[in-house]
Amino acid sequence: MSNVNCNDQVSYPYLLLAGGPEKEKKIVEIARDETSPVTPDLEHQQGHLQVGGPLWAGIWLFMMHCFMGLCASSFSHIPYIGESPMWLRAVILIVAIGNGFFDHLGGYIAHPSRFEALRNGTLLFGLIGTVLFFCHLYISLPVWESNALLFLFVVILVAPAITYKTITARDAPTTYGDLLDSYTRWSGIVLHLSVDTGLAFCFALCWTLLQGTASPMFWLQ
């Protein structure tokens, strides 16, 4: 009796595979499905969003870039020379709008790789516009007030990135590819909302304190 049981146990797998190659393949696939972990795939699907993130976030962040470009182009001063010429103000405004489009809306229209070179080219002009904006700030406001606003600007720029790295164990995105990849996670969306909205608030505060020194878009009049 025991010999029969042993023979049955040994021959059972071969009986399962007796249906041919197709049945063997099906059995192997079933075994893989039973042993493969499911939870990581679910976490991957639930924790990631489409490229560019939610559309409402992209539109909001684009508007923040436009507002900061409006402020930076309206209040711009070149040290030892004077107020920035109209062509430079126009470049600062166009660059801010373009940078906002490339970073936050371009992914909804075409493949992001088409915008990478243009986007990287706007970074230098964006930095120049920000520096000239604070130059106007320092010649228009008391030094202590300008220092406080510059400190606020730096804190808004740095603090969310440090918090992001502490929570996610990831470095804040620096390259264009990392930037787009961060939009596929809610942590990245919150990071960009915090930084861009905070910087726009800082520009709005500066605009309020600079009332009387220049009016927005006066250079187009």
Per-residue pLDDT tens over the stretch 32-88: 444 434 333 323 333 444 555 788 888 999 999 999 999 999 999 999 899 889 999
Per 3-state DSSP, what percentage of the chain is helix, strand, and coil (rounded to 5)?
A: 80, 0, 20
Task: Confirm if 133 and 99 have CB atoms less than 8 A apart.
Answer: no
- 117 confidence band (pLDDT: 50, 70, 90): confident
pLDDT reading at 97 higher than 60: yes
**Which pair of structure tokens corresponds to residue 71?**
């402020």
Q: Name the pTM for this structure.
A: 0.70
Euclidean distance between CA atoms 24 and 146, whole angstroms: 75
* Phi, psi (degrees; rounded to nearest 5) at 59: -65, -45
What are 77's strand-pairing partners?
83
DSSP 49: -
What value does the mean pLDDT of the chain take?
77
pLDDT reading at 199 higher than 80: yes
Task: Confirm if 69 and 129 have CB atoms less than 8 A apart.
Answer: yes
Task: Confirm if 96 and 73 have CB atoms less than 8 A apart.
Answer: yes
- C-alpha pair distances (Å), 213 with each of 45, 109, 140, 144, 216: 52, 40, 7, 18, 10
| Coil, helix or strand at residue 77 | strand
Residue with the larger pLDDT of the pair 216 and 163: 163
**Which pair of structure tokens corresponds to residue 112?**
């992001």
The pLDDT of residue 50 is: 54
- Give me the residue spans of the domains in the chain: 2-36, 50-220
Q: Say how many C-beta atoms besides its own lie within 10 A of residue 203's C-beta.
A: 22
